[in-house]
Amino acid sequence: MKFIVPSQDLLERLLLVNGAVVAKPVLPILENFLFVIKNEILTISSTDLETSMTTFMPVQAQEDLAIAVPSRLTIDILRSLPSQPITFTVDSSSFGIELSTASGRYKLAGQPADDYPKIQEIESTGSFNIPSRILARAISKTLFATSTDDLRPNLNGVFVELKEGSINFVATDANRLVKLTRSDVDPGQENSFIIPKKALNLLKSALPMSDEQIVVAFNENSVAFSISNLNLICRLIEDRYPDYAAVMPSDNDQELILDRLSILNTTKRIGIFSNKTTHQIRLAITGSELNVSSEDLELANEAQERLECEFNGSDLEIGFNGKFFIDMLANLDTDQVVLKLSAPNKAGIMIPADNEADESIEMLIMPMMLNN
């Protein structure tokens, strides 16, 4: 059995689904791609048993076939070849695979397709469409705030909350929280689920920055994303998400308006001198002047900088984790940001001064106790 395929086209498809291949899986066969050819269409699949990815491409083939192909070896050889047609010849009895070009032959050991785990399928109970660029933006603006704590699996993903006429994307690690709302996406129903961050990282890298409609189908256990040349299915995090609305302060009426890049670069410099355990920085607001400082008493390190600002409240000092503060600023893209405050022991809310049309972003950061 054989088929012919352009080497670069195949490489692009393999790289698209390679993220679901794990280096040392529980089942060794999961280090392979599953190749299935029917009616001259090659379906390439990969899975880690939690997340499955599938892509498609046309090939020249006289007959159907199915085989598990070593992922790393195949990608390495295709990367090293110039763009050209390449012929795959499969021995149906030994599952040996020979790749041949005009100038060389390369042999590798395949495995029976029957030994490969069945790729997930989903019987959806609900679905909606969302433009690719909007989904990619929502993922990139929230994913950084997810937790890495294995003891709190419900925080290790992005909470997607479907409303009639809008959709919310929420992420938190209990120290910071990001909520992004799109009012130009209408799921037509009310529902919610938690998508694990690994699947979202894979999806983010595959999504085109276009208005192409992504079909999102889901049930109580899984969610599937269908793009023109890729399907991704993953298991949902089956846990209850915390009531994030309960921690969002409603009385932060003192607004600090700052140039985003200025405060971002200042915080990066000041953070170099902060304690390497707490990463604490201090914001001291006096009139129209903001003093940003940090210190590490054990190493006698200290730094401070002054910035001009607009502030419509009383003089205030508050402490934040500098790394979290930098992450929030780096994931906004407006010229100015607004930091809404109320008291030194109350959470701050950061928002862009100008929201993108049909979008609103709120970023909550918990304060740190200052040592005076």
Domain borders along the chain are: 2-115, 126-245, 249-365
pLDDT digits (tens, 9 = 90+) for 299-351: 899 999 999 999 999 999 999 999 999 999 999 999 999 999 999 999 999 99
What per-residue confidence (pLDDT) applies to 372? Answer: 66
Q: Top-level CATH class of 249-365? A: alpha beta
CA distance 280 to 284: 13
3-state helix, strand, coil split of the chain in percent (to 5) is 20, 45, 35
Region 126-245: CATH code: 3.10.150.10
Query: CB of 198 within 8 A of CB of 46?
Result: no
Question: Which run of H or E residues covers position 67?
Answer: strand 65-70
CA distance 145 to 173: 6
Question: Which of 134, 136, 140 has its CA nearest to residue 166?
Answer: 134
Give tens-digit pLDDT for 253-299. 999 999 999 999 999 999 999 999 999 999 999 999 999 999 998 88
The per-residue pLDDT for 145 is: 97
Q: Which residue has the tokens 């794990």?
A: 22
CA dist 288 → 159, 307, 308 (Å)? 38, 9, 6
The CA distances from residue 113 to 23, 37, 46, 82, 140, in Å, are 19, 12, 12, 29, 36
Tell me if 126-245 shares its fold with 249-365. yes
Each of the 372 residues of the chain gets a pLDDT tens digit; together they read 899 999 999 999 999 999 999 888 889 999 999 999 999 999 999 999 999 999 999 999 989 999 999 999 999 999 999 999 999 999 988 999 999 998 899 999 999 999 999 998 899 999 999 999 999 999 999 999 999 999 999 999 999 999 999 999 999 999 999 999 999 999 999 999 999 999 999 999 999 999 999 999 999 999 999 998 899 999 999 999 999 999 999 899 999 999 999 999 999 999 999 999 999 999 999 999 999 999 998 889 999 999 999 999 999 999 999 999 999 999 999 999 999 999 999 999 999 999 888 999 999 999 999 876
- The CATH number that domain 2-115 falls under is 3.10.150.10
How many whole angstroms separate alpha carbon 128 and alpha carbon 329?
31
| Residue carrying the six token digits 């699947």 | 199
C-alpha closest to that of 214 among 198, 203, 222, 201: 203
Note the pTM of the prediction, 2 decimals.
Answer: 0.92
Residue given tokens 């692009």 in the structure block: 12
